[in-house]
């Protein structure tokens, strides 16, 4: 059976530098303006919360130093907590937006951001892929001095990561009957992408 | 355990305009000529049948106006009915051909046509991808005045849909140990593709 | 829950002609030199072992003549035996390396080499994709007179198989929360790829 949450659940993903966080700020602002109830959950924040509660870390940077198997357990626990929080805060008219990645590139390879245990927990109606031309993403990464990103580098490497992200999105979507919704974040107009995500949310209701 | 039907099960898929229905007409004609028992099940027809039985719709166009979650339930119910019908009609020498899509493009994104619940129900031996050059598909769509297709548009958009279709096919195949079998529908010779599908069916017996 | 083996499990895959076996010989030699306990399991060897034990075949070439459903059962049984053997031979410091394919191209299509039943049994931490430029692979296949390979042919066909292999790897990885780790086998320097795989193993501990 296709299980769903009582509220609309949309996972918003994108490779580092695509402008996902900015787009989500606009989504939140539009939903606020409309009076739509929503929860915007940052997956990394929930990973940290769970890890702190378990006494495993005191700071975000320590998570990636945990044994990989421990990180995978935290990933599932974070998904569970996101859904429980949303269940307690949202009625059936609400919207859960999860800010995360379909694939995470590390020195140990491409890790699925929405593996089976995570996506079964979140039960998304849609997985949004915020995308942009690889050239645009690389130039954004170069300008981005505020965050200590480990560069994902060349245009070819960004294009490869985007391709892996699409594959991972469809593999996860196949497990839970959700849609995969690519949306372009046009340079200088993140609100346009935000509006498309809000439209999507309405159609999924 | 790898579960299989007593008969050979082949899901035949392709993007709109690739000529899948024409190819399947030839497949049916070849199997008729050989006296091979088969069931050719159109997934959309079964969706409609199930929806009518449940009193949800009276006409095909109403299905896409149902809430999305209801459509997903109909999708699984249709898969179940297709398999039950085939079980009652076919012996172990028979062939079930299912006419459907691995991915369906809508305003709410790319939906898996063979999500977990559907593919576990159908238990395919193979998922056929009927393919053609994107340019050929676009020109067929332009000529196709008999059906009220919503255009999927440019050559780039068709190529993207075909790429998503391949990804979705492999994701579904991974869940049930089926093969993914691409076959080109060469312009002007749909029988050649049909013959390859019939050969495949024989090798899968 | 994310299930893992007590030892590190890395599945090493690659299309025919990429030099996977040579790379694995170097991996084994490096691990030997370090005194690291490992099991190097060739998936095809285990298929044959299981098939012989069941009295189904007496020679390797007979496996592909078995009914396809029987081959799929052998595939799952081989995965189980690989894991059982490793459990009896390795402690928690050990490494299981499995030599196989993420996708196998045959006359009946692209078959997943790590379908659900197999990957759930093996519980890999990482799936390595040994890759090289398609042109390099084709020229290696042409030189390779020692093995009776059925040619996979043109550069385009090799590129297609590599693309399907990446998709299949990510689909399998999504089921078991493992990483996908591409590594290039540079012409004339298989040891470089081997060293990267050994580094990966250490980071996964």
Domain residue spans in chain C?
A: 8-41+93-204
User: Residue C134 burial (CB < 10 Å; 0-12/13-18/19+)?
Assistant: buried
Q: Which stretches of chain B drop beneath a pLDDT of 50?
A: none
Residue A188 is given by DSSP the state: T
Q: What 3-state DSSP class applies to A190?
A: helix
Bridge-partner residues for A8, per DSSP?
A95
Nearest Cβ partner for A117 among C2, C126, C179:
C2
Residue B200 contacts C where some CB pair is shorter than 8 Å? yes
Q: Which residue of C has its CA nearest to B177?
A: C115
Please list every residue in chain A whose beta carbon sits closer than 8 Å to the beta carbon of residue C166.
164, 167
Secondary structure element (H or E) that encloses residue B136, with its range:
helix B134-143
Please state the ipTM of this predicted complex: 0.94
Distance CA B23, CA A155 (A): 41
Confidence of residue A104 (pLDDT cuts 50, 70, 90): very high
Distance CA C193, CA A23 (A): 39
Residue C64 contacts B where some CB pair is shorter than 8 Å? no
Residue B14: phi and psi, rounded to 5, are 175, 155
Test the B interface: residue of C66, C167, C180 with most B CBs within 10 Å: C167
Q: Are strands A109-112 and A103-106 parallel, antiparallel or unpaired?
A: antiparallel
Q: In whole numbers, what is the pLDDT of chain C averaged over residues?
A: 94
Residue-level pLDDT at B148: 55
Residue range C25-46: mean pLDDT, rounded: 97
Residue A154 is given by DSSP the state: S
Distance CA A39, CA A93 (A): 12
Bridge-partner residues for C112, per DSSP?
C103
Residue numbers of C between 127 and 166 with CB closer than 8 Å to A: 166
Residue-level pLDDT at B150: 55
Whether C82 and C43 have beta carbons less than 8 Å apart is answered as yes
Please list every residue in chain B whose beta carbon sits closer than 8 Å to the beta carbon of residue C73.
1-2
Length of chain A: 205
Please list every residue in chain C whose beta carbon sits closer than 8 Å to the beta carbon of residue A167.
166-167, 170-171
Q: In whole numbers, what is the pLDDT of chain A averaged over residues?
A: 94
As a whole-number percent, the residues of chain A with pLDDT over 90 amount to 85
Residue-level pLDDT at B26: 98
Asked if the C8-41+93-204 domain carries CATH number 2.60.40.10, the reply is no
- In the CATH hierarchy, which fold is given to the domain comprising B8-204? Rossmann fold (3.40.50)
CATH superfamily of this structure's domain A8-37+93-204: P-loop containing nucleotide triphosphate hydrolases (3.40.50.300)
Whether C100 and C113 have beta carbons less than 8 Å apart is answered as yes
Residue-level pLDDT at B2: 77
Residue A109 is given by DSSP the state: E
CB contact under 8 A, A108 and C167: no
Tell me: pLDDT of A114 over 80: yes
Residue range A23-40: mean pLDDT, rounded: 98
Residue A73 contacts C where some CB pair is shorter than 8 Å? yes
Distance CA C91, CA A104 (A): 30
Q: Where are the beta strands (DSSP E) in B30-113?
A: 38-42, 95-100, 103-106, 109-112
Residue C193: phi and psi, rounded to 5, are -65, -40
CB contact under 8 A, B174 and C114: yes
Tell me: pLDDT of A152 over 60: no
Whether B102 and B168 have beta carbons less than 8 Å apart is answered as yes
Q: What's the whole-model pTM score?
A: 0.96
pLDDT single digits (tens) C48-98: 999 999 999 999 999 989 998 899 999 999 999 999 999 999 988 899 999
Residue-level pLDDT at C149: 56
| Gap from C4 CA to chain A (nearest CA, Å) | 8
Distance CA C50, CA C77 (A): 7
Tell me: pLDDT of C119 over 80: yes
Whose CA is closest to B41, among B152, B118, B147?
A: B118
Residue-level pLDDT at C46: 98
pLDDT single digits (tens) A159-184: 999 999 999 999 999 999 999 999 99
Nearest Cβ partner for B115 among A125, A166, A174:
A174
Residue range C126-137: mean pLDDT, rounded: 96
Q: Where are the beta strands (DSSP E) in chain C?
A: 8-13, 38-42, 95-100, 103-106, 109-112, 126-131, 179-184
Q: Which two tokens stand for residue B161?
A: 């849909």
């Amino acid at each position: 059976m296709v299980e769903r949450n009582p509220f609309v659940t949309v996972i918003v993903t994108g490779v580092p530098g695509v402008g996902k966080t900015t787009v989500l700020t606009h989504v939140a602002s539009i939903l606020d303006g409309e009076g739509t109830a929503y929860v915007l959950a940052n997956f990394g924040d929930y990973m940290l919360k769970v890890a702190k509660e378990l006494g495993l870390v005191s700071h975000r940077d320590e998570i990636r130093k945990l044994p990989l198997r421990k990180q995978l357990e935290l990933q599932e626990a974070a998904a569970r907590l996101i859904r429980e929080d949303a269940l307690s805060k949202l009625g059936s008219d609400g919207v859960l937006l999860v800010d995360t990645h379909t694939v995470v590139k590390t020195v140990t390879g491409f890790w699925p951001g929405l593996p089976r245990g995570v996506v079964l927990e979140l039960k998304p109606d849609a997985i949004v892929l915020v995308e942009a031309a690889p050239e645009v993403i690389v130039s954004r990464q170069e300008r981005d001095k505020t965050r200590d990103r480990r560069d994902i580098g060349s245009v070819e490497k960004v294009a490869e990561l985007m391709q892996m992200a699409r594959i991972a999105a469809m593999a996860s979507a196949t497990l839970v009957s959700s849609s995969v919704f690519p949306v372009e974040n046009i340079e200088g107009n993140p609100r346009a992408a935000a509006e498309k995500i809000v439209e999507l949310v309405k159609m999924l209701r």
